[in-house]
């Protein structure tokens, strides 16, 4: 007898708590850690509530960067549909090399 692989839906098996993928969980923790540093600064001043808002807000920003994609907009046609974190990584690499993009603008002569 031959053996056969039965296809199954494996989407979502790499998720933790249903909404967090591994990448989203890491980005959320990084955002929350940065927010925690800001929390300790605000807590020393006596405004701990604002610091807690920073923890939640920066954690949500980290989650959204890891999870969402660039929407399909006509002006952003080159990068639409790509993950936001990939676009940010490419931008940082581009700027670290101090690259520049030059565009040539020519005005065409009107024919009479």
Question: How far are the Cα atoms of 53, 81, 90, 104, 110 from residue 107, in angstroms, in the given order?
Answer: 51, 33, 32, 10, 9
Q: Please compute Rg for the chain using Cα positions.
A: 23
Domain ranges of the chain: 19-68, 69-104
pTM metric for this prediction: 0.66
| Mean pLDDT, residues 86-104 taken together | 79
Max distance between CA atoms of the chain, in angstroms, equals 82
Per-residue confidence band for 60, with pLDDT thresholds at 50, 70 and 90: very high
HSE-CB at 39 with a 13 A cutoff on CA atoms is 16
Kind plus residue range of the DSSP H or E element containing 21: strand 20-21
Per-residue confidence band for 38, with pLDDT thresholds at 50, 70 and 90: very high
């Amino acid at each position: 007898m031959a053996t056969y692989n039965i296809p199954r839906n494996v989407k979502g098996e790499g998720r933790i708590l249903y909404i967090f993928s591994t990448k989203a969980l890491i980005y959320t923790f990084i955002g929350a850690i940065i927010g925690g540093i800001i929390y300790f600064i605000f807590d020393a001043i006596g405004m701990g509530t604002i610091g807690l808002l920073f923890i939640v807000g920066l954690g949500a920003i980290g989650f959204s960067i890891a999870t969402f994609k660039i929407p399909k907009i006509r002006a952003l046609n080159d990068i639409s549909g790509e993950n936001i974190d990939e676009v940010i990584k490419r931008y940082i690499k581009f700027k670290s090399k101090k690259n520049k993009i030059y565009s040539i603008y020519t005005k065409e002569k009107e024919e009479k």
